[in-house]
Amino acid sequence: MKQGDLVEAIRVLETDLPGDVEASLRRCEAEEEGNAKAVLSAILENVRYARENGIPMCQDTGTLIFFVSGAPDASRVYEVIEGALIRATEEVPLRPNTVSPLSRENEGRNLGRGNPIVHFERAGKADGRVEIGIMAKGAGSENVSRSYMLDPDQGADMVRRAVLDAVKAAGPKPCPPIVVGVGIGGNLEWSGYLAKRALMRRLDCESDDRQAAQLEREILSDVNALGIGPMGFGGKNTALKVNVEMGHCHTASLPVTVNIQCWALRRVVAEWQGGKFRVCR
């Protein structure tokens, strides 16, 4: 695993929207009219310009979140990620977004206490692959995300209501059409991880759990019925997709986190195998 490979993956992350996300935006553009259609056309032109010129598609290059699997040496991987972030901040470039929560001091490298945010997921893979999934999470969408500790007898209907409550409260702030990651179960912090992990799944794939897949379809219908529309101008498409991830939880608990993502769902997977590197979308 080379630092330069990870810098290249971050460059792709920030400058080239994944194909499934762009296809969803084009579908929405075809369905809308008036201001909503004009907004989506402008978004797609922005996507084209960023890709062709190799520049970040949004001035908020976000906080980067890393999901590592198959790495035998966690400390070494963390060092590589730190070094890649320092370089990417200068070379991509990334806006220095990471500050102390109280003093607001910024050391300028997107590092600091508790950063980078890295999730180590599995100890190893049979084929020797190492994967690092990367997400860029802007503050406009992160700030309207919510967590709920529901009563366990409230079930799927209350989960739907909780997600709808979060999206209604968010309104146009997260730059819709949004993608909604929903984490159900675990505990307080694990439901947040599940919601983030849900946003790493492609938009053309449903959950492999039947109940979760049904929830995804139902919540997407609920959200789009709100009529908030692209950038809050009204329309048929407030959300591109709802992705749900679930984990078992305490018998007396039902944690739910709603992690909202703007239209610019920036995600990549950097993969190393047998000395070869590639960026997967």
pLDDT, one tens digit per residue, over 52-68 is 999 999 999 999 999 99
Which candidate, 4, 5, 15, places its Cα nearest to that of 277? 5
31 assigned to some structural domain:
no
Q: What is residue 125's predicted lDDT score, i.e. its pLDDT?
A: 67
Q: What does the mean pLDDT of the chain come to?
A: 96
- 222 and 133 in a common domain: no
Distance (Å, rounded) from C-alpha 67 to C-alpha 8? Answer: 17
26 assigned to some structural domain:
no
pLDDT (mean) for 222-240: 98
Distance (Å, rounded) from C-alpha 94 to C-alpha 279? Answer: 19
Phi/psi class of residue 232: alpha, beta or left (left: φ > 0; alpha: ψ in -120 to 50)?
A: left
41 assigned to some structural domain:
no
50 assigned to some structural domain:
no
Question: Please, which residues have CB within 8 angstroms of residue 69's CB and are 6 or more apart in sequence?
Answer: 120, 121, 122, 125, 130, 131, 133
201 assigned to some structural domain:
yes
- CATH of residue 128: 3.30.1330
- 232 and 196 in a common domain: yes
Distance (Å, rounded) from C-alpha 160 to C-alpha 27? Answer: 25
What pLDDT, in 10s, does the model give residues 111-123? 999 999 999 997 6
pLDDT (mean) for 223-233: 98
The answer on pLDDT for 17 being more than 70 is: yes
- 152 and 71 in a common domain: no
- 246 and 217 in a common domain: yes
The answer on pLDDT for 171 being more than 90 is: yes
- 8 and 133 in a common domain: yes
**pTM attached to this predicted model:** 0.96
The parent domain of residue 61 ranges over 3-14+56-138+266-280
pLDDT (mean) for 149-172: 97
- 146 and 120 in a common domain: no
pLDDT (mean) for 93-100: 97
The answer on pLDDT for 281 being more than 90 is: no
- 252 and 188 in a common domain: yes
- 255 and 148 in a common domain: yes
- 210 and 189 in a common domain: yes
- 71 and 168 in a common domain: no
- 246 and 178 in a common domain: yes
**CA 73 to each of CA 77, 112, 122: distance values in angstroms, whole numbers, following the listed order:** 6, 22, 12
Q: What is residue 67's predicted lDDT score, i.e. its pLDDT?
A: 97
164 assigned to some structural domain:
yes
- 247 and 192 in a common domain: yes
Distance (Å, rounded) from C-alpha 248 to C-alpha 152? Answer: 12
**CA 225 to each of CA 58, 104, 168, 183: distance values in angstroms, whole numbers, following the listed order:** 28, 39, 11, 22
33 assigned to some structural domain:
no
Distance (Å, rounded) from C-alpha 144 to C-alpha 258? Answer: 9
Please state the domain count of the chain.
2
The answer on pLDDT for 72 being more than 90 is: no
User: DSSP letter string over 60-76?
Assistant: ---EEEEEEES-S-HHH
28 assigned to some structural domain:
no
